[in-house]
Amino acid sequence: MISALRPISFNLIYTLKAPSTPLTSAKKFLSISTRSMAVRGTALCDYDAGKKNDDADLRQTGNDVNITSWVNPNDKSGEFKRGQSAFRNWISSKPGAQFPPEKDRYHLYVSYACPWAHRTLITRKLKGLEDIIPYTAVHWHMGEKGWRFVTPDENVPGENVTAEPLNGYSHLREIYFSVDPEYKGRFTVPTLYDKKTKQIVSNESSEIIRMFYHEFDGLLDDKYKSVDLLPAALEKDIDTANEWIYDTVNNGVYKCGFATTQEAYEKSITPLFSSLDRIEEHLAKTYSPSTPYYFGKDITEVDIRLFTTIIRFDPVYVQHFKTNIRDIRSGYPAVHRWLRHLYWDIPAFGETTQFEHIRKHYTKSHGQINPFAITPVGPLPDIMRKDEEVNALKK
């Protein structure tokens, strides 16, 4: 049940008004259709660590399976089920490690559009790894061959949006096939590549960011060594929060957007907004000028993982993934305050966010959702300044 803290109205033009309407009651306003759509999805980002799905292999792409298939066509539920990442090695500072921390040994491939890859850029900057781990960002568009690199004649915004610097590859998939010519999985970002052994270390964002936390500390100044995004005293609480936020929010928006039946969509949107209500309540209770983050006075992993979804929510997910019960800027004031503080005040968050990549990737790469590839102009601005509010909330 959606809480009554912020009333819901299912009018064509979204407004906030009383009395409150629980999500379960509001289903009668929804037009129910059980017809499945033809699926032409895209392999967006990484999978995130989680439970293995029994049908994961049916959705792998490799050489001969459609890279743009997100939902198993034999699954009549129409539910999007995320598989697991294929490369799960670890950079370790322990003696004899296969992948030891070394300056300029590893190269990170990312997309500015991708929330999972965005995690790694934020963490890399927070930990001061800019001179130790270089990166390349792919073009925002994904076609039938997956992520591609820009060509020299293209002018695409964003730092390090360049041609592939190591081998001159045109597509990310070529890196995967150079490692394993028989590779059958998806070609995902982030991808952490070892230039020395010519191997992919990992394409699992949740593990890449944890490698960045302390494995490179021996190469860092004290200023960055002291940055602890997973403090021992909070590790259990962080893991607990990650679990439900990942399932219902980070991955929840995709389960809504890639659903191919009405039932699958409604099954996912209810827990998504219940969790957003839960986050709102938590941030409203714990906030003070000295404790602006999810767990108080310091940034933790939860802030990083949650930010990359919430920053995309209003510009893309509300309309493109149909997560439109509320938006962040007018429906979640505490979340909105938290989001804007991170974006405007913490360079690692704001400087790694590229709204043009975000808007264009989703709207022009997901042909099964937006076949005419029209990118909505709004909402404007992409993110509001800290001293601004939407008109509906002004007193």
Q: Which of 39, 114, 117, 318 is the catalytic position? A: 114
Q: Is 114 a catalytic residue?
A: yes
- HSE on the CB side for 198, CA within 13 Å? 8
Question: For residue 84, what are its two tokens?
Answer: 């697991």
Going from the C-alpha of 282 to that of each of 136, 301, 342, the distances in angstroms are: 36, 16, 17
Cβ-contact 140, 158 below 8 angstroms: no
Point out the residues that are catalytic. 114
